[in-house]
Structure 1
Amino acid sequence: MNESRVVGQVRIVGAGLLGASIGLRLRAAGVDVIVDDSSPSNLNLAIDYGAGRAARDTDDPALIVVAVPPDVTAAVVATELTAYPDALVTDVASVKVAPLAELRAAGADTLRYIGSHPLAGRERGGAISARADLFIGRPWVVTPHDDIPTAQISIIEDLVLDLGAVPVIMSAEQHDSSVALVSHVPQVVSTLLAKQLLRSTEAAISLAGQGLRDTTRIASSDPELWVQILGANSADVVPILRDFRDDLDGLLTALAAPAVPGARRAVAEVLADGNAGVARIPGKHGQDRRFSQIVVMVDDRAGELARLLTEIGGIGVNMEDLRLEHSPGAQVGLAEISVLPEVEDRLIADLEAGGWKIAGAWR
């Protein structure tokens, strides 16, 4: 990793997944990282994993990153602003309007505070799940406010770039309305779908394929954290859920009487709108382009997937994304490889020449 853009000590408050991942990445760049946490066991675990060192009385951090749950973010930021009067403070909470409002109400020095939020994470939390590459290529929203000096904003942008993320400047209001759509509502929808599995039989669940796994993956996220997030951003989440409910009601009406004139068209239009919506999702590193998907059959033997990926690299094709599907008991798995459309035919030909079976391909 290149030398860090961030200058001076960095203090991280909160030794969970995000805080520890930030620490791991910065330490790899040679930054003096201080880690603190209200839980001694969490703190010691993060230090053992290499996320940073314990605090000392002589510490003088230039930058403080608060990585604590949303309901205590403002209080911790205020404490850090008071304890370190020369430091710039940011936080990584997934809501931005509420903490800023709380800090203003408390009379905190908000000219030394800039909120931010990485659009990255994992279903499992804690330092044990931390990864130095967690933020690579992911958007990281920075939310300046009032008359924050440009130099202060640049410090947060340097932090984001050091972590391999892509800085995106938004107001706190823009951020909260945006993440309501792309993060918070998907969590609710995924959770409600997963809840239906509680009413199902073991026989039905045994048929689950990648579609169900994809749509319910985030339903395993921490309920306590999401109660806080959804409560803090309810003003932006509720209108989207109402629109979702209206669309669902329309689909229910059409499916309840599919022979009625216009019902099939109504269903088709919902599905087509879904296609159009998916097409708007940026690809790798935020690129607004579509990729070709090639599905390769992989025998369920040790080392086969690694061999496939090595051969793709040897062919000289850059893999944009990878998705795996493997049903319990199956002797083969399916590897869905996303590549640029212009290399699709060459990759298929070279893989087939190498003995791999192609199960399908589409754009």
Structure 2
Amino acid sequence: MARTTGTVRIVGTGLLGTSVGLGLTPQGVDVVLDDASPSALALAFDYGAGRHARADDDVALVVVAVPPDRTAAVVAAELAAHPRALVTDVASVKGPILDELAATETDTARYIGSHPMAGRERSGPIAARADLFVGRPWVLSAHADGRAGAAEVVEALALDLGAVPVHLAADRHDAAVAVVSHAPQLVASLLAARLIDASYETVGLVGQGMRDVTRIAGSEPAMWVQILRANAAHVAPVLTDLRDDLDAVLQALDAPDAAGSPRALADALAAGNSGVARIPGKHGVDLKLTGLTVLIDDTPGQLARLLTEIGDLGVNLEDLRLEHSPGAPIGIVEVQVAPEAASPLVDDLTRLGWRVAG
């Protein structure tokens, strides 16, 4: 049974808004959709994310899922239009929205900002998924003028969508996402841009490492300009520190045989090891995983059969990556498992006829 009660109004039927609707409607939650774009709204209706608004709707919760430069204005309008409803938003910045609401003297007692740490490179209702938020953090940013109990309402929403509620003040949230989301977007985009003038032969050598690092570079530029402008004060220091680290690496590469250069390169790489070791595993703890590389034939059903047989062996996959070079007759599947499961899995897969490369 859903924890969310009453009618939920979603304003903005892009990726996040439509995904919220798709996650709530199967649980019996009454979801109303609205969007300035008739075509986006029609798609969201067709996908089953909610229903048309009615004049007599008694809205309990409004979820504002519009671009960041419109969020504050829409929040203010929804607070005025639905005087009994709690209003939240899912924008990726929190402080500037509060500041804009304060500047317009909007009563924010019924407003609490939130931000699900989930997304895709694709946008719009066509990219929406009911499971988009499963296992992902959903940040709640309460403020001093907020109504008691507001956080619990948004917590219920996050839990119904399979997310993990996390409480962070607006400024702390904005500083955190600068490190884990906003700066990485720029870094990925700048690195991917190196491929523009690369030769065909060079691009043909792109492997999983480059794909992993640049995956988010396919995101929509217009949206990210808004996000980066809103959070510039927190993103700039992160990039400044990165620039300093790059300068040190460049100095070492300019004279790779000079005293101290090997150490500088090793320190940079070791720092990366230390940083990535802090990223939580899917169960919320630091996990040291073991990777196995399995070669599969490039024929229909092979990947599904591999995953099924791993499941039948009772092994829990922590992560999976798939790589396929153009024209190659095989695919490369890297599975990440707990260390204690790795050796038995190699033996079992080999017995079942799979080619385990490492």
TM-score by length of 1: 0.97
Matching residue of 1:32: 30
**Unpaired stretches in structure 1, ≥5 consecutive residues:** none
Map of 1:325 onto structure 2: 323
Q: Aligned partner of 2:137: which letter?
A: P
Q: Which residue of 1 aligns with 2:126?
A: 128
Question: Amino acid of the residue matched to residue 89 of structure 1?
Answer: V
After superposition, residues 197-216 of structure 1 pair within 5 angstroms as 197-216=195-214
For 1:183, which of 181, 184, 188 is the aligned residue?
181
Q: CA deviation at 1:201?
A: 0.9
Give the equivalent residue in structure 2 for 1:334.
Answer: 332
Q: Does 1:79 align with 2:77?
A: yes
Residue type of the alignment partner of 2:319: D
The residue aligned with 2:49 is 51
Asked if the contact 1:138–1:285 (Cα under 8 Å) also holds between the matched residues in 2, the reply is no
CA contact 2:346–2:356 (8 Å) conserved in 1: yes
8 Å contact from structure 1 (residues 62, 88) kept in 2:
yes
Provide Cα deviations, 1:264-306, integer angstroms capped at 9, x if missing partner: 1110110111111110111114222222211111111110000
Amino acid in structure 2 at the alignment position of 1:246:
D
For the 8 Å contact 2:108–2:145, the answer to whether it is kept is no
C-alpha separation in 2, matches of 1:60 and 1:71: 28
Q: Which amino acid aligns with 2:93?
A: V
Aligned residue among 104, 107, 114 for 2:105 = 107
Confirm or deny that 1:261 pairs with 2:270.
Answer: no
Aligned equivalent of 2:269, options 263, 268, 271:
271
CA shift at 1:341, angstroms? 1.5
Three-state SS of the structure 2 residue aligned to 1:282 is coil
* Separation (CA, whole Å) in 1 of partners of 2:110 and 2:288: 41
Find the partner of 2:223 among 216, 222, 225: 225
Amino acid at match of 1:184: H
Q: Is the 8 A contact 1:46 1:52 kept in 2?
A: yes
8 Å CA contact retained: 2:295, 2:357: yes
User: In structure 2, how many angstroms separate the alpha carbons of the residues matched to 1:48 and 1:286?
Assistant: 36
Alpha-carbon distance, 1:330 to partner: 0.9
Q: How many residues align?
A: 358
* 1:229-268 Cα deviation digits (max 9, x unpaired): 0000000000010000000011000001111111111101
- Give the equivalent residue in structure 2 for 1:281: 279
Contact 2:138 2:158 in 1 (8 A): yes
**Alignment partners' CA distance in 2, 1:232 and 1:357:** 50
Per mean C-alpha deviation after superposition, the further-off stretch among 156-165 and 289-298 is 289-298
Q: Compute the displacement of 1:54 (Å).
A: 1.0
Counterparts of 2:230 and 2:350, CA distance in 1: 52
Distance, in Å, in 2 between the alignment partners of 1:177 and 1:286 is: 21
1:137 is matched with 135
Letter of the 1:35 partner, please give it: L
| C-alpha separation in 2, matches of 1:108 and 1:29 | 33
Q: SS of the residue aligned with 2:320? A: strand
Task: Find the counterpart in structure 2 of residue 247 from structure 1.
Answer: 245
User: In 1, Cα distance between the equivalents of 2:45 and 2:285?
Assistant: 36
Residue in structure 2 matching 1:65, options 49, 63, 76: 63
- Aligned-pair CA distance for 1:101: 0.8
The aligned counterpart of 1:354 is: 352
Aligned to 1:19: 17
1:297 aligns with 295
- CA displacement, residues 43-101 of structure 1 (integer Å, 9 cap, x when unaligned): 11110111101111011110000000000000000000000000000000000000011
AA matched with 1:199: D
CA distance in 2, matches of 1:110, 1:319: 44
| TM superposition shift of 1:150 | 4.2
| Partner amino acid, structure 2, of 1:49 | Y
Q: Which ranges of structure 2 fall in alignment gaps of 5 or more residues?
A: none
Q: Is the 8 A contact 2:138 2:165 kept in 1?
A: yes
Pairwise CA distance, 1:6: 0.4
Which position in structure 2 is the counterpart of 1:308?
A: 306
* SS of alignment partner, residue 323 of structure 1: strand
What are the superposed Cα offsets for residues 156-215 of structure 1, whole Å, 9 maximum, x if unpaired? 100000000000000000100000000000000000001111121111111111111111
By how many angstroms is 1:334 displaced?
1.1
Q: Which runs of 4+ in 1 moved over 3 A?
A: none
Q: Secondary structure at the match of 1:338?
A: strand
Deviation per CA, 1:13-64: give whole Å up to 9, x if none: 0000000000000001110100000111111111011110111101111000
